[in-house]
């Protein structure tokens, strides 16, 4: 059983997620390899459970507004220069793999081999969570996400 709050679980289920969800990641793997991103086991496990989900959740700052994230590394990798991800690698001290987009597609979501998740846009990089599940909970709940210097 995954440790999501009831609110986050409901948002995920509205997006088509279930506890036993398992999707084919071969297309994601192919596109990530072509772009030169590492294929960590933690990334593949996350994509099997959450790949393809487009989740709409309450905006963390603007009451009555919605935001969304999309777990699709193929689409996300096409929207960011690999050189930008390399800059993020240096800032966090790890080689990152693109996994999706958040904040209405303004930020690219990346995951490290240890499972930590970050979101970046230009020079801004924030730590979303210590795992994919933690990052989803942070996005859906509006929890404060610290900027990486």
pLDDT digits 0-9 by tens, 19-43: 999 999 999 999 999 999 999 999 9
Mean of the per-residue pLDDT values of the chain: 94
135 assigned to some structural domain = yes
Distance, in Å, from the CA atom of 101 to the CA atom of 33, rounded to the nearest integer, reads 18
Distance, in Å, from the CA atom of 145 to the CA atom of 29, rounded to the nearest integer, reads 28
Cβ neighbours for 58, distance < 8 A, ≥ 6 positions apart: 65, 66, 67, 140, 142
Cβ atoms of residues 101 and 76 within 8 Å: yes
The string of pLDDT tens digits covering residues 90-129 is: 999 999 999 999 998 899 999 999 999 999 999 999 999 9
Give the residue-averaged pLDDT of 70-80. Answer: 96
44 assigned to some structural domain = yes
What pLDDT was estimated at residue 131? 97
11 assigned to some structural domain = no
Element (H, E) at 130: none
4 assigned to some structural domain = no
- 66 has a pLDDT exceeding 50: yes
Quote the domain boundaries for residue 125. Answer: 23-141
117 assigned to some structural domain = yes
What pLDDT was estimated at residue 2? 61
> What pTM was computed for the model?
0.94
Angle at 53 between CA 94 and CA 70, to 5 degrees: 55
Q: What total number of domains does the chain contain?
A: 1
Q: Predicted confidence band at 77 (pLDDT cuts at 50, 70, 90)?
A: very high
147 assigned to some structural domain = no
93 assigned to some structural domain = yes
Distance, in Å, from the CA atom of 146 to the CA atom of 49, rounded to the nearest integer, reads 26
3 assigned to some structural domain = no
């Amino acid at each position: 059983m995954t440790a999501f709050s009831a609110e986050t679980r409901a948002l995920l289920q509205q997006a088509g997620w279930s506890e036993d969800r398992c999707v084919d990641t071969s297309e994601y793997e192919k596109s990530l390899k072509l772009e030169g991103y590492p294929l960590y086991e933690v990334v593949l496990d996350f994509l099997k459970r959450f790949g393809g989900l487009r989740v709409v959740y309450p905006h963390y700052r603007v009451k009555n507004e919605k935001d969304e994230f999309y777990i699709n590394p193929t689409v996300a990798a096409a929207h960011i220069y690999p050189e930008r991800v390399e800059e993020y690698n240096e800032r966090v001290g790890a080689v990152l793999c693109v996994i999706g987009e958040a904040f209405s597609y303004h930020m690219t979501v990346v995951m490290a081999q240890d499972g930590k998740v970050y979101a970046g846009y230009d020079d801004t990089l924030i730590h979303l969570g210590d795992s994919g599940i933690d990052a989803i909970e942070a996005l859906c709940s509006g929890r404060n996400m610290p900027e990486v210097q």
